[in-house]
Amino acid sequence: MENTHIQMWEECLKIFKDNLPAEQFNAWFKPITSLSYENNVLKLLVPTAYFVEQLEVRYMKILAATLHRVYGNSVKLFYDYYQVGADPTSAITVETARESPSVQRINPQNPFHTAVVEDFDSQLNPKYTFENYCGSVCNKIARSIGEAIAMNPKCKTFNPLFVFGHTGVGKTHLIQAIGIRIKERNPHARVLYVPARLFESQYTAAAMAKPSRVNDFINFYQSVEVLIIDDIQDLMHKPGTQSAFFHIFNHLHQNQRQIILSSDCAPSEMKDMHDRLLSRFKWGMTAELESPDYDLRREVLHQRASQDGLTIPPEVMEYIAANVTDSIRELEGIVVSLLAHATVLNRDITIDLAKSVLSNSVKLQKKAAVNFEMVAQTVSDFYNIDPEQLFTKTRKREISDARQMVMYLAKRHVKMPVTAIGTRLSRTHATVLHACRNIEERLSMEANLRNDVERIEAMMQV
Instruction: Select from 237, 254, 288 the last residue of a domain.
Output: 288
Task: Report pLDDT for 43.
Answer: 87
Mean pLDDT of 368-375: 80
* pLDDT band at 82; cut points 50, 70, 90: low
In this structure, are 174 and 261 located in the same domain? yes
Q: H or E element: which one contains 438?
A: helix 429-443
In this structure, are 187 and 317 located in the same domain? no
Greatest mean pLDDT range, 116-120, 303-307, 393-397: 393-397
Q: What is the CATH number of the domain that holds 403?
A: 1.10.1750.10
Residue 188's Cβ-side half-sphere holds a number of Cα atoms within 13 Å equal to: 4
Mean pLDDT of 341-360: 78
Please report the sign of the dihedral spanned by the C-alpha atoms of residue 49, residue 54, residue 56, residue 62: negative
Q: H or E element: which one contains 279?
A: helix 275-281
In this structure, are 192 and 306 located in the same domain? no
Task: Report pLDDT for 211.
Answer: 65
Q: Report if residue 397 sits inside a domain.
A: yes
In this structure, are 354 and 378 located in the same domain? no
CA gap 355, 186 in Å, rounded: 47
Mean pLDDT of 367-393: 85
In this structure, are 175 and 312 located in the same domain? no
In this structure, are 78 and 187 located in the same domain? no
In this structure, are 274 and 300 located in the same domain? no
Task: Report pLDDT for 162.
Answer: 94
Task: Report pLDDT for 77.
Answer: 87
Strands in 41-46's sheet, in edge-to-edge order, are 33-38, 41-46, 76-81, 102-107, 89-95
* pLDDT band at 105; cut points 50, 70, 90: very low
Report the amino acid identity of residue 343.
T
Q: Is the pLDDT of residue 185 over 90?
A: no
Q: Is the pLDDT of residue 36 over 90?
A: no
Instruction: Select from 60, 87, 107 the last residue of a domain.
Output: 107
* pLDDT band at 81; cut points 50, 70, 90: low
Mean pLDDT of 249-271: 90
107 C-beta neighbours (distance < 10 Å), count: 21
Greatest mean pLDDT range, 39-53, 209-223, 403-417: 403-417
Instruction: Select from 66, 90, 107 the last residue of a domain.
Output: 107
Q: Report if residue 24 sits inside a domain.
A: yes
CA gap 416, 420 in Å, rounded: 6
* pLDDT band at 259; cut points 50, 70, 90: very high
Q: Report if residue 116 sits inside a domain.
A: no
More confident residue, 210 or 100: 210
Q: What is the CATH number of the domain that holds 328?
A: 1.10.8.60
Task: Report pLDDT for 361.
Answer: 63
Q: Is the pLDDT of residue 260 over 90?
A: yes
* pLDDT band at 91; cut points 50, 70, 90: very low
- How far is residue 153 from each of residues 147, 150, 249, 330, measured CA to CA in Å? 10, 6, 16, 32
Per the prediction, the chain carries an average pLDDT of: 81
In this structure, are 322 and 242 located in the same domain? no
Mean pLDDT of 32-42: 87
Q: Is the pLDDT of residue 364 over 80?
A: no
Task: Report pLDDT for 84.
Answer: 41
Q: Which of 414, 336, 332 is nearest to 376 (CA)?
A: 414
CA gap 403, 393 in Å, rounded: 11
Report the largest interatomic distance among the alpha carbons of the chain, rounded to a whole angstrom.
Answer: 108
Task: Report pLDDT for 113.
Answer: 42
- For a pLDDT cut of 70, what percent of the chain falls above it? 87
What is the residue range of 351's domain?
A: 294-361
Q: Report if residue 130 sits inside a domain.
A: no
Q: What is the CATH number of the domain that holds 76?
A: 3.30.300.180
Q: Report if residue 367 sits inside a domain.
A: no
The total domain count for the chain is 4
Q: Is the pLDDT of residue 229 over 70?
A: yes
Mean pLDDT of 407-411: 91
Mean pLDDT of 239-253: 90
Q: Report if residue 165 sits inside a domain.
A: yes
| Residues 122-144: tens digit of each pLDDT | 888 888 888 888 888 788 888 89
- For a pLDDT cut of 90, what percent of the chain falls above it? 15
Q: Report if residue 120 sits inside a domain.
A: no
In this structure, are 67 and 196 located in the same domain? no
In this structure, are 356 and 341 located in the same domain? yes
Mean pLDDT of 371-393: 88
Q: Is the pLDDT of residue 118 over 70?
A: no
Q: Report if residue 123 sits inside a domain.
A: no
Q: Is the pLDDT of residue 177 over 90?
A: yes
Q: Is the pLDDT of residue 112 over 50?
A: no
In this structure, are 378 and 309 located in the same domain? no
Mean pLDDT of 211-232: 87
In this structure, are 147 and 216 located in the same domain? yes
